[in-house]
């Protein structure tokens, strides 16, 4: 586990271990207050963020380390400076790197070329830290993950992909209901099906929101137009109008079902106030758990990364007079 790029990259026991570590950190935070003493996490933001910025920034400090925020103006990946050059510079200055960007290939390239751990804070293809926080929250509330029915209603986007990946790893039964033409990427479906066959999980993609929500333990939604696709919002609205999580749709879930949303929410579009503000909504517990699971990921990846030392693979040969 050198990097945390996609939930697909790990075995089911590794994913379960990180979830367990996150819960242990939340229960006993003092145990880890010096776990990353002297370590620095560089944070590259090509997309703005509230939860990702705060949870990584606060998280590394609570572990005894430091953070360094790098804005689009300072990096401008691929234009001001190549991904390769940024990776090779940062690996000699910091002990970990979190990147929140558009193209998933940028995260993969950063992980390929940087000798330090790279964490995917979000890409257009996946949002692995969010899904890990989501499943940690489900585990806290439901006491288990295997055989839970999780209904994701809306766009087959990066959040849907990572929910599918993580569900397949932990034995959950994930249903994704989208308007026709907005389904998850085919390769995400194929991978999730294959892993689900190994773990006893389920992965279902449908255009029927009512079918997906019926009997669900968890009902989840996200904005209809993801960040970077805001220009499509008007075009998408008619297609998604029957995929709003409102009281009528939510009533089809189990009586003890909970509502989840990765936030930010567009109230009155993908979800109504009566659902997101109800006692069965756990969106803020879900948001808080981004802090704990990301602390677990950082500790697991960065704990043994040397401070102030070049990685042997990239250090130049010493020249003696």
Spatial separation of the C-alpha atoms in residues 268 and 61, rounded to whole Å: 37
- Find all residues with CB under 8 Å of 17, minimum gap 6, and list them: none
Spatial separation of the C-alpha atoms in residues 123 and 128, rounded to whole Å: 9
pLDDT at 231 over 90: no
Tens of pLDDT, residue by residue over 238-295, are 999 999 999 999 999 999 999 999 999 999 999 999 999 999 999 999 999 999 999 9
Map out the domains of the chain with their CATH numbers.
7-126+289-302 (3.40.50.1370), 129-286 (3.40.50.1370)
Q: Which of 8, 169, 222, 294 is catalytic?
A: 222
Q: Work out the number of other CB atoms within 10 angstroms of the CB of residue 72.
A: 15
Can 100 be counted among the known catalytic residues?
A: yes
Answer for the pair 116, 97: CB distance below 8 angstroms, yes or no: yes
CA 218 to chain centre: 17
Q: Which of 95, 130, 169, 244 is catalytic?
A: 130
Q: Which of 203, 244, 262, 300 is catalytic?
A: 262
pLDDT at 228 over 90: no
Can 290 be counted among the known catalytic residues?
A: yes
Give the whole-number percent of the chain exceeding pLDDT 70. Answer: 95
Tens of pLDDT, residue by residue over 149-194, are 999 999 999 999 999 999 999 999 999 999 999 999 999 999 999 9
Can 130 be counted among the known catalytic residues?
A: yes
Over range 118-131, report the average pLDDT. Answer: 98
Q: Which of 8, 127, 195, 204 is catalytic?
A: 127
Residue with tokens 């697909």: 8
DSSP string, 161-228: HHHHHHHHHHT-EEEEE--TT-PPPHHHHHHHHHHHHHHT-EEEEES-HHHHHTT-SEEEE--SS-TT
Can 127 be counted among the known catalytic residues?
A: yes
Q: Which residue has the higher pLDDT, 151 or 306?
A: 151
pLDDT at 311 over 50: no
Q: Which of 8, 51, 57, 100 is catalytic?
A: 100
Residue 264: asked if its preceding bond is cis (omega within 30°), the reply is yes
Q: What is the pTM of this model?
A: 0.93
Q: In the predicted model, what is the mean pLDDT of the chain?
A: 93
């Amino acid at each position: 586990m050198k990097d945390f790029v996609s939930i697909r990259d790990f075995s089911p026991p590794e994913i379960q271990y990180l979830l367990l570590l996150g819960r242990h950190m939340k229960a006993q935070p003092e145990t880890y207050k010096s776990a990353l003493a002297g370590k620095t996490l560089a944070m590259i933001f090509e997309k703005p963020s509230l939860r990702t910025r705060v949870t990584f920034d606060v998280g590394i400090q609570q572990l005894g380390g430091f953070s360094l925020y790098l804005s689009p103006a300072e990096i401008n990946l691929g234009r001001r400076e190549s991904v390769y050059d940024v990776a090779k510079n940062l690996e000699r200055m910091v002990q970990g790197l979190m990147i929140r960007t558009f193209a998933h290939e940028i995260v993969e390239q950063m992980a390929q070329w940087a000798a330090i751990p790279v964490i995917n804070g979000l890409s257009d293809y996946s949002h692995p830290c969010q899904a890990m926080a989501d499943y940690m929250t489900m585990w806290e509330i439901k006491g288990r993950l295997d055989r839970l029915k999780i209904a994701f209603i809306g766009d087959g986007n990066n959040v849907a992909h990572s929910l599918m990946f993580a569900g397949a790893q932990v034995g959950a039964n994930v249903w994704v209901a989208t308007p026709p033409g907005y389904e998850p990427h085919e390769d995400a479906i194929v991978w999730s099906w294959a892993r689900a066959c190994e773990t006893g999980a389920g992965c279902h993609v449908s255009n029927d929101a009512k079918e997906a929500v019926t009997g669900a333990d968890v009902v989840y939604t996200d904005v209809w137009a993801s960040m970077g696709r805001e220009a499509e919002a008007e075009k998408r609205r008619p297609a998604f109008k029957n995929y709003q999580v409102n009281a009528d749709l939510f009533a089809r879930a189990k009586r003890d079902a909970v509502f989840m949303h990765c936030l930010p929410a567009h109230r009155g579009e993908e979800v109504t106030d009566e659902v997101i503000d109800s006692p069965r909504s756990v969106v803020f517990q879900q948001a808080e758990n981004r802090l704990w699971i990301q602390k677990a990921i950082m500790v697991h990846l960065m704990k043994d990364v040397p401070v102030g030392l070049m990685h042997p693979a990239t250090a130049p040969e010493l020249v003696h007079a």
